[in-house]
Structure 1
Amino acid sequence: MSKILSLRARPILDSRGSWTVETYLKLTDGRVFKASVPQGKSVGSYEANYVPVNVAIKNVDKIISPRLKGLNPAKQKEIDELLVKLDGTPSKKRLGANSILSVSIACARAHAIERNKPLWKHLRDLGGFNKLKTTGAPRLFANLINGGLHAGNNLDFQEYLVAPRAKSVREAVDIILKLHSGLEEYLIKSKGETAINAGDEGGFAPNFKDNLEPFYILDKVARKLRMEGKIDFGLDAAASGVSLSVPKLISIYKKLEDKFHLFYLEDPFGEDEFGKFAKLKEMLGDKVLIAGDDLTTTNLTRMEKAHNEGSVNAVIIKPNQIGTVTESIKAVQLARKFGWKVVVSHRSGETNDEFIADFAYGVHADGIKLGAPVRGERIAKYNRLLEIESDPSSEAG
């Protein structure tokens, strides 16, 4: 295989109009591969650190590129380990997870093309996930109403999610589109034209009576569209940024489970509240997936602690929380060992890079969070999932 000739990074805009990093990897045969990285607004304290974009670009150009020149991009594990070693800090605060991840993903793309395999299949082989009996696409989690740090409204909670019960990505997307359209119509009639202003992830972001009203509206719209039994509701509370008391939070979560059969609840308490997570999981039983995001941050040590304390039965995987493809794969492998459900997720500040769609397919993720079915950076992921499913040669099903 051709070797790495050079790496060059440049600044690009993310979906919030903030600068982020895009890296170009050039091989000795002249082929070029690129990758860009997203960034979150609601960031857990234990996530791998980003460095300022101008610093990240300099790190790729001046530090990483000379060290990777002449290496075979097929050596994903070795390259990722070298990147971690070059950084030399537990949190990647020297080189930055933004510079490191862009290089790691570009290497994965180069090797996939060299193997003449789609990226999702290459990632599946890398992690040994082709041995799993699970087939089919990840379940789609669409964030139709935004709140918290992702919106300028009065909602405490960050993401009001709808997950279709569908047999295919196409069917799931069709359900999401109908719900989104029906919700738009309802909000305009009930709250006025400005009610359909969007949050960071494309979901509607008007003010509401309280934190429960969005689910009453979603349920009403779903019933009007005769979608009973075709969808489930989920919530990303992102409670590290919520000022409500623990008793108040528990009361809300119990109401949501009782009234709407909530099936997914992410970060119901603060990022260090392992014990409170465990008590809620015991209280709700297997009826609800209790997922860690800020609690676990795609970090093996945090995941081990959550497992030992019985805190969660599901986990969010965000490659930019940890910084390399290899570490992201290891996090999925550990989650599988623990028997947890795996949900791959976007970030609020996204790019048009569709890597997470391939990653979710590749690791046999149980779900993928995509945002609303609007805006180019979200649509890129939806379309990539549809592309993988529709390719007769992909054997994705």
Structure 2
Amino acid sequence: MTDFSIIQTSARRVWDSRGNPTVEVEVTLANGAVGRAIAPAGASRGTREAVDLRDGGTALKGMNVSAAVNNVTTRIAPLLRGMDASDQFGVDAALVDIDGTRLKSELGGNAMVATSLAVLHAAAAANSVPLWAYIAQISGRTPSLPLPEIQIFGGGAHAGRRVDVQDFMVMVPGAKDFDEVMETTAEIYHAAGKIMQAKGTLAGVADEGGWWPVFASNEEALETLVKAIEMAGETPGDRVIISLDIAASEFGSKGRYRLALEDRELDSDQMIALLGRWLDTYPIASIEDPLAEDDPEGVAAFTAAYGDRVQIIGDDYLVTNAGLVKQAAGAGACNAVLIKVNQAGTVSESIDCFRAAQSSNYGTIVSARSGETEDVSISHLAVGLGAGQLKVGSFTRGERMAKWNECLRIADALPANAFVAGAPLARTWWANKKQG
């Protein structure tokens, strides 16, 4: 019998895609298997998500992680020594217990998520199976290739708040396979760059690799995205649709929404009306965090008005928390949830949130963060859970492409019909249009 007991847990400081320090953890098992994982970091963060432990002070903008690294080596390593790495839920429960705080502030969410993922990798290696296959095994799910959600323009906290809306994205539910999604998105991405270059508004890329927005209004970004889809030879709303991450908590509070780019303030009803007009005007089939996390009535009202037409995703509003998903479902707010492992703090809590979403008939989207690395764990998580959708940012920057490319490799090991295509959007206008 293979010995899955953990004999060593170590940590080091590494660096993320924004040049900030983060935590990498390595876990070694008695059978020689090794697992390694790196904690990502978000810029747009919900107030109820796990918090990274940072050193503070003046060095490295206060972002150093020596305390988090030290917590792995002095507190987590002794805790895990001798534990069974194949008992992911037991390991994660022990981490949550020793931390003892609601937001993982004692050990640090960065220390905990890197450790939890490293244990997952080690157990998969010990089983001599790919990570996605191991995730499917422990979750009881059937693996599938997700539908990507890919940023073309970055905004909000990811682009110096040059526009208020955080992500202007495309999805290709009409593609025949994952590779075709990549090809179509490449054409759209480069077309968008050509349009901006011709207008003299090309200003580099944002945190997640999307074009840095230089627009006079939020809606100009939508208009430009439609033009880019057309320039790529596609009909907007046919094979290709638009997805938005409003990230309303970044510019809204207590039912008031300040659109800095347009120098105006809206209340919840006016914000809902604005987004509703966009839904009527543009081929948008998915929208994330349309209202702020402290505006549950607004989120519920938006869902009541548009939930039968579009996918409405909770991110800052639900923070990968099973209890919050159940609460939102009971209130009629949202119909999908973003799954971010570092938002929850452990793999197990992320799987619990996924299961709560499934039981609530919510869609699920596994997501990266704006501060990312070469770690490709989430590609395997999306496939292994059969989550249906994956969001990792744009179509440039190595930390983004590493995850898309990993999905292409996984595709070679799965049946030809493993790609979900437009199935995750079955309850949207896009699916109704195709059926009609």
TM-score, normalised with respect to structure 1: 0.95
Name which of 140, 155, 173 aligns with 1:128. Answer: 140
Name the structure 1 match of 2:153.
145
Q: Is the contact between residue 48 and residue 319 of structure 2 (CA under 8 Å) also seen in structure 1?
A: yes
AA at the equivalent of 2:110: N
- 1-side partners of 2:393 and 2:225: how far apart? 15
Counterpart contact for 2:372–2:399, Cα < 8 Å: yes
Q: Hey, what's the Cα distance between the residues in 1 that align with 2:40 and 2:132?
A: 19
Aligned to 1:129, what secondary structure does the other structure show?
Answer: coil
The CA deviation string for residues 35-84 of structure 1, in whole angstroms up to 9 with x for no partner, is 00100011110001211211110111000101111222111111111111
Cross-structure match for 2:180: 171
1:68 aligns with 2:80: yes
User: Aligned partners of 1:395 and 1:99: how far apart in 2?
Assistant: 38
| Aligned residue identity for 1:379 | M
Within a 5 Å distance, the mapping from 1:80-99 to structure 2 comes to: 80-99=92-111
Letter of the aligned partner of 1:20 in structure 2? T
| Residue 222 (1) aligns with residue 224 (2) | no
Output the amino acid matched with 1:38.
P
Task: Spell out, residue by residue over 1:207-244, the C-alpha distance to the aligned partner (whole angstroms, 9 max, x if none).
Answer: 20201111111111211222111211011010011224
Structure 1 residue 335 displacement after superposition: 0.1
CA contact (8 A) 1:388 1:396 kept: no
- In structure 1, C-alpha distance between the alignment counterparts of 2:269 and 2:165, rounded to whole Å: 16
The correspondence for 2:198, drawn from 189, 194, 217, is 189
| 1:236-284 C-alpha deviation (Å, 9 max, x unpaired) | 0100112242344223311221111311111111112221111111111
Matching residue within 125, 128, 131 for 1:119? 131
- Corresponding residue of 1:240: 249
What residue number does 1:10 align with? Answer: 12
Unaligned runs of 5+ in 1: none
RMSD: 1.6
Report the Cα distance in structure 1 between the residues aligned to 2:296 and 2:272, rounded to whole angstroms: 15
Farther off after superposition, 272-281 or 323-332: 272-281
Match for 1:200 among 207, 212, 231? Answer: 207
Cα distance in 2, alignment partners of residues 289 and 219 from structure 1:
19
Q: Which residue matches 2:356?
A: 334
Structure 2 residue runs of 5 or longer lacking an equivalent are 55-64, 252-257, 260-265, 420-436
CA distance in 2, matches of 1:395, 1:68: 40
Q: Distance in 1 between matches of 2:9 and 2:415?
A: 32
2:365 partner SS: strand
Contact 2:292/2:317 (<8 A) preserved: yes
- Tell me by how many angstroms 1:393 deviates: 8.2
Residue type at the aligned position of 2:346: T
Is the contact made by 2:154 and 2:167 (CA closer than 8 Å) also made in structure 1? yes
Large movers: runs of 4+ above 4 Å: 392-397
Q: Does 1:250 align with 2:262?
A: no
- TM-score, normalised by the number of residues in structure 2: 0.87
**CA distance in structure 2 between the partners assigned to 1:396 and 1:105 by the alignment:** 25
Q: Is the 8 Å Cα contact of residues 147 and 205 (structure 1) preserved in structure 2?
A: yes
Letter in 1 for 2:159: A
- Matched residue, 2:339: 317
Counterpart Cα distance in 1 of 2:317 and 2:192: 31
For residues 358 and 169 of structure 1, what CA distance do their matches in structure 2 show?
14
1:107 aligns with 2:119: yes
Task: State the distance in 1 between where 2:417 and 2:89 align.
Answer: 26
Deviation at 1:366, TM superposition (A): 2.1
Q: Distance in 2 between matches of 1:395 and 1:111?
A: 28
Q: Report the CA distance between 1:395 and its aligned residue.
A: 9.0
The aligned amino acid for 2:46 is G
One-letter identity of the residue aligned with 2:102: P
Residue deviations 1:273-302 (CA, integer Å, cap 9, x gap): 221111111111411111100000001222
C-alpha distance after superposition, 1:108-152 (max 9, x if no partner):
11111222221111111211113xxxx641110001101111102
Alpha carbons of structure 1 residues 153 and 338: separation in structure 2 relative to 1, 3 Å: closer
Cα distance in structure 1, aligned partners of 2:378 and 2:109: 16
The answer to whether the 8 Å contact 2:33/2:125 transfers is no
Output the amino acid matched with 1:116.
S
1:30 shift after superposition: 3.6
**Bigger shift: 113-122 or 234-243?**
113-122
Which stretch shifts more, 282-291 or 340-349? Answer: 282-291
What amino acid is the match of 2:317? Answer: L
Contact 2:155/2:161, CA 8 A, preserved across alignment = yes
Q: Structure 1 residue 196: deviation in Å? A: 4.0
Q: Which residue of 2 aligns with 1:304?
A: 326
Whole-angstrom distance in 1 between the partners of 2:385 and 2:151: 22
Structure 1 pair 294–67 and aligned structure 2 pair: CA distance change class (3 A): same
Q: Residues of 2 paired with 1:69 and 1:254: CA distance? A: 54
Aligned-partner Cα distance in 2 for 1:323–1:136 = 24
- The CA deviation string for residues 327-372 of structure 1, in whole angstroms up to 9 with x for no partner, is 1111000000000100111100001100010001111112111211
Instruction: Give the corresponding residue for 2:398.
Output: 376
Distance 1:153 1:392, change over 3 A: closer
> Which of 278, 282, 286 is the matching residue for 1:264?
286
Equivalent residue pairs, number: 391
SS in 2 for 1:263: strand
Task: Quote the residue 1:37 is aligned against.
Answer: 39
- Which position in structure 1 is the counterpart of 2:432? none
Residue 338 to residue 377, structure 1, CA distance change in 2 (3 Å): same
